[in-house]
Amino acid sequence: MCGIVAYVGQKPAHEVIIKGLKRLEYRGYDSAGIALMNGGLNIYKKKGRVNELENYLKDKNLDSTIGIGHTRWATHGEPNDVNAHPHYSYSKNLAIIHNGIIENYSALRQELINKGHTFLSETDSEVFIHFIEDIQINNDCTLEEAVRLALTKVVGAYAIVIMSKDNPDMLIAARKGSPLVIGVGKNEFFLASDATPIVEYTNEVVYLNDLEIAVIDNNELNIRTIQDIPMTPYIHTLDMELEAIEKGGYEHFMLKEIFEQPRSIGDCMRGRLDANNGRLVLGGIREYANKLINADRIIIVACGTSWHAGLVAEYFFEEFCRIPVEVEYASEFRYRNPVIKEGDVVIAISQSGETADTLAAIELAKSKGAIIFGVCNVVGSSIARTSHEGAYTHAGPEIGVASTKAFTAQLTVLNMIALRVAHSKGTITESRYHELLVELENIPSKVEQALKLDAQIEHISNEFKDSKNFLYLGRGYNFPVALEGALKLKEISYIHAEGYPAAEMKHGPIALIDEEMPVVFIATRDSSYDKVVSNIQEVKARKGRVIAIVTEGDALIPQMAEFVIEVPRTDEALMPMVSVIPLQLLSYHIAVMRGCNVDQPRNLAKSVTVE
């Protein structure tokens, strides 16, 4: 959940690291720090934003071509200067940056205290580097060997980079359950939590695998497992451009990413879908396609917005593929002893491909004989490499913490997978299949039309920016959209919001409705339309303030709703990809009007890499 950047080469290390940490700000953090080899091994760190660290460094000697940097999201110990990373070892000969959680740190800490160690912070990370140094001293071994031995003893997740005062040109890195990528340049190396700080300098990267240790020394990269088995680094070429991680003239990344959706949805379909010729090809699921086609059950595991995409996919798979689907919170999946049979198909959805809970769910399902299909956005990510097969969404980098284009991209890919399965199974007629292919191909243009409502939605946002609560209601395919709309609002504007199936309103939430309560209905023309109209009347009878998302040309609901937002007509099964757009814009404008940090909401991280 934190950000790691490290560098060794010929450039001024602090410039590379500070710029890299700024590129990782979207991951969420509460403090930042840097360690440099500048006349010794020196650490500088501050609570707050990277800018505060940058100001703190202005009068410091920063002459170093090697360094490590970190942005921290607090797990052990409150956010402050002392708990910020990097951390020294007991002798201050070593420094570490660490993402993840060491679960047995308390026992290790007590063991080290008994040996005379004292600790400055409350963090598990400081315990980690003390432990490594203790092993090195007591075993009279190299630092690399000490790291390897330490990793066999610690329990938990980690991505670490270590500097040594005695080895001023060396960096040691390792990972388990937390991402780490190594950029390979000309006589220089870059390490980071993801590729965004690296792409400016090189497009050649090595993705470190779980339980691997990388040693960079004298311009050489060597990788070994914690069992001391040498590995050959495999160099990937990044398919990412610097412009993709810049704001491109928009005030916020979130707004840029909302408006990128016509392109990102189109990119998901490019080379895969040709409606005119009835062609749908998904190369990523070719080898295991029959497992999916013949599955008795599909289990979808995901978290947050990806879970909402999974809920929409449940409707789609069950309607068109006639396969039972269960949608599980990945964070709960492995803690309730789930029933998984050999041959079950698990679809794991994650924007980053690094979500710790989803990875844990995958590992459990694989151990029981399930086939894993990954749907993620980041090439080379852990979920992509752990899955048997899967499909990338090709949405491009998503920097805003509140996921927007990833949601519609995930729906695009999931819908294509379901249509591919349904057509192969014969559970969809040829005419319906071609109808949905055409409608899916037209979604980017319909999203474009929905985005033209921005000014109208901004006006509505001003009306409700001071509200304390919101209720979002939808039925059928639009019920998960209600959940997603509520999530967007609360995570970036800090307004309490709840999403419900519209029919469930009478079973509790209706008690909350009064003249102060905004109620957002996703009320597009579909098989539940008449029922939703009745629900709107129930809210109006209790003086609730209705905002309705309707299909263009609707003549009935505008007579009842205080505010109406018309979206283009499309097939009921594909409507979530269009109806969600006004909800994304509504949450964005309300948050901006409330003075909230839209791209980096408080307490949130983009990629949740710890449980």
Neighbouring residues of 385: CB distance < 8 A, sequence distance ≥ 6? 207, 209
325 neighbors 318 (Cβ within 8 angstroms): yes
Tokens for 204, please give them.
Answer: 């050649």
Strands ordered across the beta sheet of 496-501: 496-501, 469-474, 518-522, 545-551, 563-567
At 54, give phi and psi (nearest 5°). -60, -45
CA distances from 265 to 91, 173, 286 (A): 53, 36, 22
Catalytic member of 2, 268, 303, 321:
2
Catalytic member of 45, 256, 488, 606:
606
CA distances from 432 to 281, 315, 320, 421, 429 (A): 18, 16, 10, 14, 5
Q: Which amino acid is at 113?
A: I
Distance CA 577, CA 598 (A): 22
467 neighbors 495 (Cβ within 8 angstroms): yes
3-state secondary structure 478-524: HHHHHHHHHHHHHHHHCCEEEEEEHHHHHHCHHHHCCCCCEEEEECC
To the query of whether residue 376 is one of the catalytic residues in this protein, the response is: no
Q: Which helix (H) or strand (E) holds 259?
A: helix 253-259
What is the maximum span of the chain, computed from C-alpha positions, in angstroms?
A: 81
Q: Which amino acid is at 109?
A: R
Tokens for 262, please give them.
Answer: 């016509």
To the query of whether residue 268 is one of the catalytic residues in this protein, the response is: no
At 587, give phi and psi (nearest 5°). -65, -40
Q: What are the residue numbers of the active site?
A: 2, 606
